[in-house]
Chain A
Amino acid sequence: MSQLITPVLALLLQAEQPTTRGGVIWQGIQHPDLSKFLVIAALLFIIGVAGVLTRRNIIVIFMSIELILNAANLNFIAFSRYLQDAGYPNAVAGQVFTVFIIVVAAAEAAIGLGIVIALYRNRETIFVDKIDLLKW
């Protein structure tokens, strides 16, 4: 399968530099680079912020926070790979940071869900707009 496709891909890849705007975009789609990863991570981050700002269910808000942390992880890994390709083969600081972010996210989820359980026991609700003890 791949023996058949590789020459075709190679032919496609060695096409001349695109001149039209559509050609540039098509080349960008064929060869996703660092900026594409950054855009995907930014969109994930924005979806996570949207969940935090608009949802009422505190558990879904926690899940949105996990989405935000994952967007940050994706950025770290993408930059780590970019640096590895830019001539620093030992650039793994981004991956080490990601390990720590995952650890902190696990701790945060444990504490946060403990708070949710305690809150549900006291107030019988998990909707953030009904938990208004400290409103004014």
Chain B
Amino acid sequence: MVLSGWAAVFFWVFAVAALVAALLTILARNAVHSALFLISTLVSVAALFILLGAEFIAGVQILVYVGGVMVLFLFVIMLVNVSAEERGHELLFNRPAQVAASAIILALLSLGLIYAIRQGYDGLLKRDQDRITPAVVAAQPPTQPNATRVMRISQDTQRVGGSLYRYGSIPFEVASVLLLVAIVGSVMLARTTKQELAADDVDLELLPELIATEPELAQEIEKLAETQTKL
């Protein structure tokens, strides 16, 4: 796999964009700015996916991450109060000793990773030397229809879908259960005490304590009791 020509130019553009936006994500003072920089990182990584010939995954990344997860992030940022951090009343990072310790860990991690990639990639090339021929690399132009008038993109998506359902059908079903659990779990977690009372889901032993912290709950309980006696 060797990119050349315009693909190489775009590779460097999007790689540098992804790295710079990722750095700004963890350095930005305002959490909304962090989220926007994270969106540009995700879009740049999606562009790298397209360069690697995984157009379907790039589309999924944009739709799910940028369209779904990041909107969720932005909603939560607007629900919680982050203005103290924005105005500089709160520290952005942990204490200096913790930051120094993590910098040492990260330096070691990056050295180890770069060394491992260099060593491992040389070994990989040696193993696959006879398989990778320039002819394979310079295969048909990517977006030209071939003899059967099928684009390479749709072929690739077809292959991904095929193996998703053929070899990954059980994980696929498990993933749907996981998403259901995530929906139910986040609804349960984000309920207020009032909503828990309405669903009759509060521990009776804890009720006096809750009323002590939130006095308006007592009225709420009376209202609920009235409606229940009417029924």
Interface positions of A (Cβ within 8 A of B): 2, 6, 9, 13, 29-40, 42-51, 53-57, 59-60, 62-64, 66-67, 70, 73-74, 77-78, 80-82, 84-87, 90, 92-93, 95-96, 98-100, 102-111, 113-118, 120-121, 124, 126-127, 129
Q: List 17 A-B contacts (CB under 8 A).
A: A9-B5, A13-B4, A31-B4, A35-B118, A43-B19, A53-B105, A54-B26, A55-B92, A56-B92, A57-B85, A59-B82, A63-B73, A66-B38, A74-B49, A81-B54, A86-B132, A110-B185
Determine if B117 and A103 form an interchain contact, defined as CB atoms under 8 angstroms apart.
no
A-B contact count (CB 8 A): 257
Asked, given contacts A35-B118, A59-B31, whether A30 binds B54 with beta carbons under 8 Å apart, the answer is: no
Determine if A115 and B12 form an interchain contact, defined as CB atoms under 8 angstroms apart.
no
Determine if B69 and A109 form an interchain contact, defined as CB atoms under 8 angstroms apart.
yes
Complex CA distance for A90 and B166, rounded to whole angstroms: 13
Complex CA distance for A51 and B183, rounded to whole angstroms: 27
Determine if B4 and A9 form an interchain contact, defined as CB atoms under 8 angstroms apart.
yes
List 8 additional contacts besides A31-B3, A34-B1; criterion CB under 8 Å.
A13-B5, A46-B106, A54-B102, A57-B92, A87-B131, A100-B171, A108-B182, A116-B80
Contact residues in A for B53 (Cβ distance below 8 Å): 81, 84
Determine if B192 and A121 form an interchain contact, defined as CB atoms under 8 angstroms apart.
yes
Asked, given contacts A54-B102, A55-B93, whether A64 binds B73 with beta carbons under 8 Å apart, the answer is: no
Looking at the complex, which one of A74, A78, A126 makes contact with B80 (CB distance below 8 Å)? A126
Determine if A114 and B189 form an interchain contact, defined as CB atoms under 8 angstroms apart.
yes
Determine if A85 and B94 form an interchain contact, defined as CB atoms under 8 angstroms apart.
no
- State which residues 1-52 of B face A: CB under 8 Å: 1-6, 8, 11-12, 15, 18-19, 22-23, 25-26, 31, 34-35, 38, 41-42, 45, 48-49, 52
Which one of B55-63, B200-208, B222-230 contacts A? B55-63
Looking at the complex, which one of B69, B109, B128, B167 makes contact with A105 (CB distance below 8 Å)? B69
Question: How far apart are A54's CB and chain B's nearest CB, in angstroms?
Answer: 5
Contact residues in A for B212 (Cβ distance below 8 Å): none
